[in-house]
Amino acid sequence: MQIKLAKLNDLQQVLNVLNKVTLDLQKKGINQWDYPWDTNKIISEIQNNYLYVLLIDSEILGTFGIKEIDCLSELAIDSKSKYLYQIAILPEYQGNKFGSVITEFACSFAKKVNKTIYLDCWAGNEKLKHFYLNNGFEYQGDFPEKDYFISIFKSN
């Protein structure tokens, strides 16, 4: 297993992961992400070195982003923190501890640069909220986002 920064030649595999995961979430009534994903947005995230991929051999089975916090800055969040976002693992690989690998990587990354890392999820996703709590994140509260609420978590 390997985690690395995504490159432009990973674009189609990343979009495939994000679109498959989004459809799977929507089937479960979780509508946090829009389908299909905006290719230009993903290209921008790759070019800005925000997007990572999780690989086994050469197959991308997960993706996530880490960037400076700015979009959540109006909330009670430490300034100059990191934001772990858009964690997506192909449905057929979920439940195999890959999410824990990603959160451990992100927490280690943040510690190396002496930052706190935050993440969020749709407030109604109890399974994901428990996952974050079980992986060492601290619940910060629920906050309005468009037409729903998000739960914010912070690394210890």
Domains defined along the chain, listed by start: 2-155 (3.40.630.30)
pLDDT tens string, the chain, 156 residues long: the values are: 999 999 999 999 999 999 999 999 999 888 879 999 999 999 999 999 999 999 999 999 999 999 988 655 556 677 678 999 999 999 999 999 999 999 999 999 999 999 999 999 989 889 899 999 999 999 999 988 888 889 999 998
Torsion, CA 50, CA 40, CA 57, CA 99, rounded to 10: 50
pLDDT digit string, tens, across residues 98-139: 999 999 999 999 999 999 999 999 898 898 999 999 999 999
**Which pTM value belongs to this model?**
0.92
